[in-house]
Every structure is written in structure tokens, then in C-alpha cells.
Amino acid sequence: MDVDTIPVTGVDELEKHLDELLADPTLEPTLKLFDDVELQLTDANIPSLIPRLLPKITDILKQYQQDPAILCSLAIKLLAPLGFTQILSIAPEESLIQALRSPAPSANILAMSILEKAARSPSDAAILAMMSNVVAEFVTRWLSAPQVEVGEKGSRVLGDLLDVDCDTRPPDGLSVNGTEITVRRPPGQGLMWRRIFQDRDIYGLVLSLNSRGPHQNAEGGLSTKQLTLAQGRLLRVLPRLAALNFGAVARTDFADLNQRYAGFEGDGGLLHFATLHMVDREDMLMHLNLIDFLETFLSIQRITPFSTYKMETLTKLLGDATSRDNVLKAAILSLPERTVPEEADDLGRFIQEVLGSQ
């Protein structure tokens, strides 16, 4: 018998158990039934199981009251061969929003795994960009989830979505110290970029979830620990985004939101906010995060295409950032000594150009 045609054992029992869970959302799942089927899944047998199992799992997740981790794990495996638009026919926007709002990290990861599929093509990313409520819930969960794995997943998904959608991307891709930052691919449509950076509600959401102020003291505001987690997540994703579209992260149309949430004037974008106004430098860990961010950021900007706007922006930004921070300035000036030898000289010249006259 061809191995691909061997039936998956235990499917009938699992299907019956799913019916039981659907009838009584308070039931505990029988983990062995799920594990036995999941371990047998292959690219060949998954398609035939999707119509039998996935709709039931989706319906159960809408009302389930126990930890859904085992359900979400199986769902992610079953969704593997499906594209983003195919999944939307099974799990529409409302289901994605519900999963993103769930306190269960497994449900958050499931929803983000579905959104990640939109990063496979510019057309799928454009479809997601039109789903403003889903994007808002995704950004909220990415920044506010207490679980590290949810934050890391969100950072990857956001970066990949903006990468495939970028309409100003470096044509030949970029790599630093052998690490690929952006891949060589055709430009996207830019709709996801406009949703994140030019949608007033989404831009305000990013600012509010990363800044201190009265809005954090309101019900549902982030704790001090969670605020630092959110800030760390933004700092880690910005170097990649700045490599793709420097202008989008360097300036904003919403100067009033800068004033409201972060207390600074002008049209500086998320790059300006994160570098100069977001981090409490008295917090040693966050100060180290800021230094690490700027070192990564400058290493990448050295190899992005030259523009007068970029260099003027960097000179002003780094001047302001280091003017009263000798630890940061010393770290940046010593960065070439800590990079790979073949790139040290060029990086040193680049840093001197943006910081040498400070």
C-alpha cells in the first residue's frame, strides 16, 4: 500500500469527541485523541481531513471555556496547505478578532499564524490591510500580550507583512553580517504600510501602547512590566522596517498624536518617538535595549540606499539622542570595534558622518 494512502487512525474517534466538545464547551479535551491524529498528519493526508475536522474546531473555539492549546495546535497543522483567502471562508474576520482577543496565548498564535499567510503575496497583504479591525486587534495583541512567544510571533508577522507589501523596497535585498534583512522580491502595493502608519487610529494605538501617561492608568492600561515588553517589541522591529521604508518610520502626519501620547511636538514618526521619547533611560534594562536598537539600526542603515533626507534625519536624531547620554554615545562610537572586520571600516566612516561632528 502507498504510504500516502494509509488512512489516519483515530479520526472517527476524534470527530466524535469534537462533537462532544461542541455540545458541551465545559468538557476537558481528551489530549491523546488529538495527539494520535496530529502525529500522523502529512502534506498528503491533510487535505482530506480539513473538511471533516476544521469546521468543527472553528465552531468549538468560538465558545470553548477550557485551555484551547490542543485545539489550536491541530488547527495550525490543518491550515498549513491553505492560503489566506481560503481560510477566511472558514474563519472570517469575527473569528480572527475573537482569537486575537482571547486570553489564551495558543489562540493568539493561531490567529497570527493565519495572518502570517497574508505575507505570502502582496495581493493577500492588501486584502488584510482592508480589514482595519483585524489589524487593530493584531497590533493590540502584539504589543500587550504578556507572553514572550506571542510578542515574538507578532513581531515576525508584522515584519513579514510589511516586507511583502513594501512599495519602496531595496531592489536587491539587504544583508548585514551575513543576516538577511530584506529579500530580493518585486515591490508590493503599500496598503499595509498605509494602514499601520497613515491610519490615525492604528498609529495612535501604537503610540498609546508604548508611552506612559494618563491613558495607561485607565482601566485596561498596561502595567509597567508590560509597557517595557511592548517598547522592546517596537524597538526590535523598527530597524527592519526602516530598512524597507525609511520615510514611513521617520515622519508622521499625526503630530497631534505625538503631543497627546508622548508629549513632543513636530512630525517625527515612530523612529523619532522610539529613539528620543519612549524609553525611560533611568531603567537600566530599557537603556540597554535602546542602545542595542540603535546599534542594529545604524548597522543596517549603513547599507541602505543613500539619500540626503536620510542622512540629515540620522544626524539630527543621533545628535539629539546622544547629547545628554554619554553611555549611548560611547557605545555607538565603539560599534565598529564589535562588528565583523570586513565591515568595520565602512561602519566607522558612516558613524563618523552622522555623529562625528556632534
pLDDT at 55: 92
The whole-number average pLDDT for the span 50-76 is: 92
Calculate what percentage of the chain has a pLDDT beyond 70.
91
CA distances from 289 to 29, 66, 103, 236, 277 (A): 41, 37, 27, 9, 14
> How many other CB atoms are found less than 10 A from the CB of residue 355?
18
Spatial distance between the Cα atoms of 294 and 172, rounded to a whole number of angstroms: 24
pLDDT exceeds 80 at position 118 = yes
CA gap 161, 122 in Å, rounded: 8
pLDDT in tens, 292-343: 999 999 999 998 888 999 999 999 999 999 998 999 999 999 999 988 888 8
pLDDT higher at 7 or 96 = 96
Q: How many residues are recorded in the chain?
A: 358
Q: What is the pLDDT of residue 64?
A: 87
Tell me the one-letter amino acid at 159: G
3-state secondary structure (DSSP) of residue 218: coil
Band of pLDDT at residue 279, cut at 50, 70 and 90: very high
Residue partners of 175: CB distance under 8 A and separation at least 6: 181
Round to whole Å and give the CA distance between 65 and 101: 14
Task: Answer left, alpha or beta for residue 4, where phi above 0 means left and psi between -120 and 50 means alpha.
Answer: alpha
CB 303 within 8 Å of CB 174: yes
For position 1, what pLDDT does the model report? 39
Residues 245-265 have a mean pLDDT of: 95
Cell digits of residue 127: 486584502
Give the confidence band of 357 by pLDDT, cuts at 50, 70, 90: low
| Model pLDDT for residues 45-58, shown as the tens digit of each residue | 999 999 999 999 99
Query: What pLDDT is attached to residue 2?
Result: 45
Average pLDDT, the chain: 91
**DSSP secondary structure letters along 32-68:** HHHHHHHTT--TTTHHHHHHHHHHHHHHHHTT--S--
**Averaged pLDDT for residues 241-246:** 94
Express each pLDDT in 12-40 by its tens digit: 999 999 999 999 989 999 999 999 999 99
What does the pLDDT average to over 206-230?
A: 79
Place of cell 530597524: 239
Q: Which of 129, 119, 202, 187 is nearest to 156 (CA)?
A: 119
Q: What is the pTM of this model?
A: 0.91
Q: Residue 182 above 90 pLDDT?
A: no
Q: Quote the pLDDT of residue 340.
A: 85
What is the rounded distance in angstroms from the CA atom of residue 195 to the CA atom of residue 67? Answer: 33
CA distance 58 to 293: 39
Q: What is the pLDDT of residue 342?
A: 84
